A and B are shown apart, each in its own frame.
Chain A
Amino acid sequence: MDFICNLPLFMIIASLFSSVLCLLLKKKAAYTVCGILMVFLTTADAIVLYYTYAHSTFTYPMGEFPAPWGNEIRAGVLECLILLVFMIVLICSIPAGYRYLRWEVDETKHNLYCALLNLSAAAVCALVFTNDIFTGYVFLEILTLASCGLMVATETGRIVLAGVRYMIMNLLGSSLFLLGVVLLYGMTGHLLMVPLHESLAEISTDPSMMLTVTLVVGVLTIGLAIKSGLFPFYFWMPDTYGWSTPTTAAFMSSVVSKAYIFLLIKVYWRVIGIDLLERMPLHLIVLALGIAGVIFGSVSAIRSNDVNRMVAYSSAAQIGYIFMSLGIGGRAGYIAAIFHLLGHSVTKSLLFLVTPRLEEVADNSMIFKDLQGSALRDRTSGLLFTICSLSMTGIPLFAGFASKFLILLAAWDSSSYGVFTAVLIALAVSTALNALYFLRTVIRIYSHPENEDPENAEPVRRHHSLGYLIPAWTLVAVNVFLGLFPAITAGLIDSGFGMLL
């Protein structure tokens, strides 16, 4: 076994260790440690991605117990690709949101914030790489706790309340997930994904067991759907994302909820098996909930009267897209789901990092009326917001278009006219709704305030620090890359799915 095979384990251990280290350090040193760790994680993940692409996937046994008993880490192209995008988002959102971290987080508590960031990086790595479903549960809870800590770092009353609500919904979700894991363990006696899958395939040959298996998969799905915010469980989203500091909002909307979805995809693909899943009515329910999420998320976004809530509700709609393409099923559906997951990660994180800058030039107000003309006073942020809006709406050149296109192709491949028609209508309606609320905001931020004195209307030139500009344009570059060359990424995802079995 090559030395590179140790890297995934090193990544998890290094994150956990530096999390403890940050507790002992002062503010500046803690951010340095955090930055070094993020760079290490990104590089190591890129190396593992290259290795798995050039050679093949590998499983790394932990401890001295072999496969059916011990714990394992597994790295493949898909896992590394997703983690790479997550790490890019994380590494970009810390410096880009630092301006607000400095204001909103108490001076003595920055090292705690860094410790929580490192802890959640560890949890994300472990969730993505684990081959053991119970380890998945444990790191699910660690990620929930760490992200709740990141949320309440600002310590205002409403964010603590939002944190409590977030925790309650997540606890319901993760205990349902644990119930599913326990039932699976009771049925098969395994926790590792590969033996679990073999044993489950054997059990499900008996038609009388199909109902039980369907129920267990349903419990797992509901658990993770609550945690990631699928319709009708998305009502905690606006407070959670809208009130927390930009770095936390970007991290939670783009990494945390997506990590849960990726765990669900892993469970579907590696534990249940896609053939077995297609025989259950479950994927149609997921499809229906996904479509409902797309529509209702967009409608809620239109009805909201401040920009933060609008962006948060549009997250609910985008989560709906991902579940919709999971519900379409088939390999193409899963590829579209992963592609949309990646595209939305880079877009939504940038949106959460840009909107506070626009609010800042509008006297720190997030109401639409006050935002009028804010892009004229802060040209760069206005341009970035416009790019994100175009991507969200699904204009060619950006990731949003490519992923919607892939979803439609997957629906066409599913060879069911009902599914295709439903997806087509949902995509058409939601694109119109997306355009309505995003482009409405873009027009508003570019139009002159009504009662403004024309002589004072000269644009305020704002100089942004490189700590904001470099991460923001990096995220735009990833977005445009996904949008211009979807075949490369989709090919990587496809080969990743081939290796997942």
Chain B
Amino acid sequence: MLDALLNNYQEAVAIILFGIGFATLLFQRNLIRKLIGMNIMDAGLFLFLTSLGYIHGRKAPIIEEGKILSEAFINPVPSGLVLTGIVVSVSVTAVMLALTVRLYKRYHTLDMDEIYAMTLIEREEND
């Protein structure tokens, strides 16, 4: 069991990172911390994917001078997936930051619970 974990330490670290990020996103009340948690979670997943495709001692699959040597390259598919994932993660972060700015401008706090309490007061005033 321990041997398996040590041999696959990249995957183990990736899953630990994913767990940390997941818990941060779920349990933190501060919006910025939640966002940081989300990015840690995504980084964990990307580390997992990259380590899946990495073959020890080989290089990135960039063809030089027309030579195509598949033995010299790592698996390019996971790297491509990571790039796609990074794009998705960046756009999600951007949208979340925009929403956070909106909320901060209106309520002057980043605490989700405080904001919720303020929306309840707002609702009572409207009714």
Asked if A164 is at the interface of the complex by the 8 Å CB criterion, the answer is yes
Which residue of A144, A164, A175, A191 contacts B45 across the interface (Cβ within 8 Å)? A175
Are A160 and B52 in contact, CB atoms less than 8 angstroms apart? no
Which residue of A69, A165, A178 contacts B85 across the interface (Cβ within 8 Å)? A178
* Contacting residues, chain B, for A182 (C-beta < 8 A): 45, 48-49, 52
Asked if B106 is at the interface of the complex by the 8 Å CB criterion, the answer is yes
Which residue of A157, A175, A185, A191 contacts B107 across the interface (Cβ within 8 Å)? A157
Asked if A5 is at the interface of the complex by the 8 Å CB criterion, the answer is no
Are A172 and B84 in contact, CB atoms less than 8 angstroms apart? no
Known contacts A134-B84, A179-B45: A164-B99 contact under CB 8 Å = yes
Closest B residue to A185 by CB, please name it: B52
Within 8 A of B (CB), among A148-166: 148-149, 152, 155, 157-158, 160-161, 163-165
* Contacting residues, chain A, for B18 (C-beta < 8 A): 175, 179
Asked if A141 is at the interface of the complex by the 8 Å CB criterion, the answer is yes
Asked if B123 is at the interface of the complex by the 8 Å CB criterion, the answer is yes
Are B119 and A145 in contact, CB atoms less than 8 angstroms apart? no
Interface size class on chain B is 35 or more
* Contacting residues, chain B, for A426 (C-beta < 8 A): none
B92 to chain A: closest CB distance in Å?
Answer: 6
Are B100 and A164 in contact, CB atoms less than 8 angstroms apart? yes
Q: State in angstroms the CA–CA spacing of A152 and B107 once bound together.
A: 16
Closest A residue to B42 by CB, please name it: A175
Which residue of B85, B96, B118, B127 contacts A164 across the interface (Cβ within 8 Å)? B96
Q: State in angstroms the CA–CA spacing of A144 and B88 once bound together.
A: 11
A277 to chain B: closest CB distance in Å?
Answer: 25
Mask of B70-108 contacts with A, CB within 8 angstroms, 1/0: 000000011001001100100110011001101100110
Are B38 and A149 in contact, CB atoms less than 8 angstroms apart? no
A209 to chain B: closest CB distance in Å?
Answer: 14
Within 8 A of A (CB), among B33-80: 34, 38, 41-42, 45, 48-49, 52, 77-78
Known contacts A160-B106, A164-B99, A179-B45: A185-B78 contact under CB 8 Å = yes
Which residue of A158, A172, A185, A191 contacts B122 across the interface (Cβ within 8 Å)? A158
Q: Give the number of chain A interface residues (Cβ < 8 Å).
A: 30
A237 to chain B: closest CB distance in Å?
Answer: 16
Most B CB atoms within 10 A — which of A138, A148, A164?
Answer: A164
* Contacting residues, chain A, for B49 (C-beta < 8 A): 182, 185
Are A171 and B45 in contact, CB atoms less than 8 angstroms apart? no
Asked if B9 is at the interface of the complex by the 8 Å CB criterion, the answer is no
Are A138 and B88 in contact, CB atoms less than 8 angstroms apart? yes
* Contacting residues, chain A, for B31 (C-beta < 8 A): 164
B50 to chain A: closest CB distance in Å?
Answer: 10
Mask of B114-127 contacts with A, CB within 8 angstroms, 1/0: 01101100110001
Which residue of B41, B84, B122 contacts A138 across the interface (Cβ within 8 Å)? B84
Are B116 and A161 in contact, CB atoms less than 8 angstroms apart? yes
Q: State in angstroms the CA–CA spacing of A168 and B103 once bound together.
A: 15
* Contacting residues, chain B, for A168 (C-beta < 8 A): 25-26, 34
Q: State in angstroms the CA–CA spacing of A164 and B103 once bound together.
A: 9
Are B92 and A160 in contact, CB atoms less than 8 angstroms apart? no
B70 to chain A: closest CB distance in Å?
Answer: 13
Asked if A418 is at the interface of the complex by the 8 Å CB criterion, the answer is no
Are B123 and A158 in contact, CB atoms less than 8 angstroms apart? yes
Q: State in angstroms the CA–CA spacing of A137 and B49 once bound together.
A: 14
B46 to chain A: closest CB distance in Å?
Answer: 9
Q: State in angstroms the CA–CA spacing of A145 and B91 once bound together.
A: 9
Are A161 and B103 in contact, CB atoms less than 8 angstroms apart? yes
Are B92 and A145 in contact, CB atoms less than 8 angstroms apart? yes
Are B95 and A149 in contact, CB atoms less than 8 angstroms apart? yes
Q: State in angstroms the CA–CA spacing of A134 and B91 once bound together.
A: 17
List residues of A whose CB falls within 8 A of some B CB.
Answer: 69, 134, 137-138, 141, 144-145, 148-149, 152, 155, 157-158, 160-161, 163-165, 167-168, 171-172, 175, 178-179, 182, 185-186, 191, 365
> Can you name 20 A-B residue pairings with CB atoms under 8 Å?
A134-B81, A144-B92, A145-B95, A149-B95, A155-B102, A158-B123, A161-B112, A161-B119, A164-B100, A164-B103, A167-B92, A167-B95, A168-B26, A171-B92, A172-B25, A172-B26, A175-B38, A185-B52, A185-B78, A185-B81
Closest 3 CB pairs of A and B: A158-B119, A141-B88, A160-B102
